[in-house]
Amino acid sequence: MSEKLSDEQIDNRLDVLKIWSVSKNKLITRIEFDNFKEAAFFANMVFSVAEEHFHHPKVCVEYNAVEIDLWTHDVDGLTDKDFDMAEDIEQRLGLFNQGK
């Protein structure tokens, strides 16, 4: 089982991320796209990342935006698993944007 991170550890890991913030013990982000098709394509990519990490976030698609909440249910908070997946999503968002 993953270990819940301390506030100091969360702050240190959060410094590396560009599009994420912490709210109510969750990593959250909202990413806007040009249209629904791009948002849906990106959401599907997030689902693939989730399967690779065996870590499943809350994902909501609202027309041209994707909202993602990451947290580890077992500890009701944030672990390295959440930050590792957030970093992977950010990296792939950069690749996604380069391909546009």
pLDDT, tens only, 24-50: 999 999 999 999 999 999 999 999 999
Place of tokens 């100091």: 8
pLDDT mean over 58-75:
97
Domain 7-98, CATH homologous superfamily name and number: Transcriptional coactivator/pterin dehydratase (3.30.1360.20)
Neighbouring-strand partners of residue 69:
28, 58
Task: Give the start-to-end residue ranges of the domains of the chain.
Answer: 7-98
Point out which residues pair with 21 in neighbouring strands: 28
Per-residue pLDDT, 95: 80
pTM exceeds 0.95, yes or no: no
Helices 7-14, 80-98: inter-axial angle, 10-degree rounding: 10
